Amino acid sequence: MKYIIVGCGRVGSELAYTLFTKGHTVAIIDHLASAFNNLHPEFRGRMIEGEALNKDVLLRAGIETADGLATVTNSDTLNSVVAHIGRTAYHIPRVVVRNYDPDWRPLHEIFEHQIVSSSSWGAQRIEEMLAHPDMHTIYSAGNGEVEIYQFIVSHKFDGKKLGDIIPNSNCSPVSLTRAGKAILPDCNTIVHENDIVLVSAILEGIQALRQQLI
């Protein structure tokens, strides 16, 4: 696969090297030649110095035949515009945009981009680890709008129905593991102490569940 990355900072350089080690063809663009010093010394992709909004720069990077484009600079406007060009003018099937400043996220949403908002996601994860060590995230979809959480059933709920623990809305059971064997539970499933339960939830649902577990 052929990928183009715009921005050779910490995120872009790491992404470029990861894709390269997996056998993909990678071109990375940055307006500063010194930015390429961030790349791993074993990286053998193409390094293109220039402005990403310059058509010639994009053509040199191979945008006409690219399978994917990631715009990961620290400028939300640049990321959004280049991503829009890639999708609409060159019909790149996979385009991902980095949201650097959370205040600019609505801009990306207007263009219906696939967004990675590391600041918002990171802050949410840290808050969770500090305030709720008894429950942690297993999987996060999108930028954390829907997540899968794991918790261990305490003696307080031994013999209760799963529905007595999980709120009626915004939270759904995914799996229950007991003695190493997993099943697909429903709200009528009887739980026992030390059962491992996975649930999917939005923020409101997980907040209600945490109140139940107190």
Number of domains in the chain: 2
If one compares 117 and 151, the residue with the highest pLDDT of the two is 151
Strand blocks (E) in 19-170: 25-30, 46-49, 68-71, 94-98, 114-116, 136-141, 146-152
CA 158 – CA 90 distance, rounded (Å): 57
User: Residue 150 class from Cβ within 10 Å (0-12 exposed, 13-18 middle, 19+ buried)?
Assistant: middle
Tell whether 10 and 97 lie within a shared domain. Answer: yes
Structure confidence by residue, pLDDT tens digits, 134-163: 677 888 787 678 889 888 898 999 999 999
Task: Read off the pLDDT band of 58 (50, 70, 90).
Answer: very high
Same domain flag for 55 and 38: yes
Q: What percent of the chain has pLDDT over 90?
A: 63
> Last residue of some domain: 118, 138, 173?
118
Are 86 and 111 in the same domain?
Answer: yes
Do 105 and 135 belong to one domain?
no
Q: Are residues 163 and 85 in the same domain?
A: no
Domain span at residue 88? 2-118
The last residue of a domain, from among 118, 141, 160: 118
Are both 72 and 89 inside the same structural domain? Answer: yes
Check residue 200 and give its pLDDT: 93
If you average pLDDT over residues 190-198, what whole number do you get? 93
pLDDT of res. 210: 83
Q: What is the CATH number of the domain that holds 135?
A: 3.30.70.1450
User: Dihedral through CA 14, CA 58, CA 90, CA 76, nearest 10?
Assistant: 60
Does one domain contain both 189 and 133? yes
Say whether both 132 and 113 belong to one domain.
Answer: no
CATH of the domain at 84: 3.40.50.720
Q: Flag whether pLDDT at 41 surpasses 90.
A: yes
pLDDT in the model for residue 206: 83
